């Protein structure tokens, strides 16, 4: 992912490009693994200021694109090489991968509540599932920012490496996966993520319902306008 102009926020260009890339993976019967990464110190930075304001105005919904579910729906294993900052929906999207690698120097946050609205993008499902109930709920409710090294100290079940080591580690892992027969990889992934795939639509439905209660408050618009500084 490399939308330098928007620092890997979920711009229209990033959403379209990423969706098309995963479609090519789905159509490629030779592909056995995917490495999802960003550029320099950005992995994925969540919604743009404009899109948050449009959701607040009821003009769009985060469900208008399924960017959050691309890694989960991908038939082959996905390695999320979060070499840079993972913010809001960008962090949640990365956690839906089959393997996650974090950077010691990067920041990770689900900062939805910083703007006064409840989380979306499947975050209420994937954070407690991947990070554990206690840490997942803490991140969702507090909207605090954590360095990768902080999460390592909290015992997250992922490798947390120096930034320069993240992508090489992820590529090595993908190469290991690629040694296996594709049909076996697809079959085992289908089994391992079946519960997540089944549960995600109901969580998205409930997140949308929570947005109806929380996103359209006047103070939310004020918080987006005053606190959104870009990535």
Which amino acids are annotated catalytic?
211
Q: How far apart are CA 72 and CA 80, in angstroms?
A: 11
Distances (CA, A) of 2 to 87, 120, 150, 152, 183: 15, 23, 26, 26, 31
Number of Cβ atoms within 10 Å of the Cβ of 191: 9
Q: How far apart are CA 102 and CA 26, in angstroms?
A: 26
Ramachandran region of residue 58, left (φ > 0), alpha (ψ -120 to 50) or beta? left
């Amino acid at each position: 992912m490399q939308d330098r102009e928007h620092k890997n926020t979920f711009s229209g260009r990033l959403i379209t490009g990423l969706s098309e890339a995963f479609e090519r993976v789905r159509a490629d019967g030779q592909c056995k693994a995917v490495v999802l990464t960003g550029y320099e110190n950005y992995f994925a930075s969540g919604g743009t200021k404009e899109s948050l304001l449009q959701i607040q105005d009821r003009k769009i919904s985060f469900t208008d694109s399924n960017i959050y579910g691309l890694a989960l729906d991908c038939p082959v294993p996905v390695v999320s090489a979060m070499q840079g900052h993972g913010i809001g929906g960008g962090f949640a999207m990365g956690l839906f991968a089959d393997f996650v690698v974090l950077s010691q120097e990067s920041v990770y946050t689900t900062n939805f509540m910083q703007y006064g609205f409840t989380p979306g993008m499947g975050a209420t499902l994937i954070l407690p599932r991947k990070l554990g109930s206690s840490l997942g709920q803490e991140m969702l409710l507090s909207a605090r920012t954590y360095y990768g090294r902080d999460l390592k100290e909290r015992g997250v079940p992922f490798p947390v490496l120096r930034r320069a080591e993240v992508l090489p580690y992820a590529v090595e892992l993908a190469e290991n996966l690629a040694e296996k027969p594709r049909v076996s990889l697809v079959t085992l992934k289908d089994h391992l993520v079946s519960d997540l795939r089944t549960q995600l639509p109901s969580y998205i439905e409930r997140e949308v319902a929570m947005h109806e209660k929380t996103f359209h408050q006047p103070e939310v618009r004020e918080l987006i306008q005053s606190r959104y500084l870009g990535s």
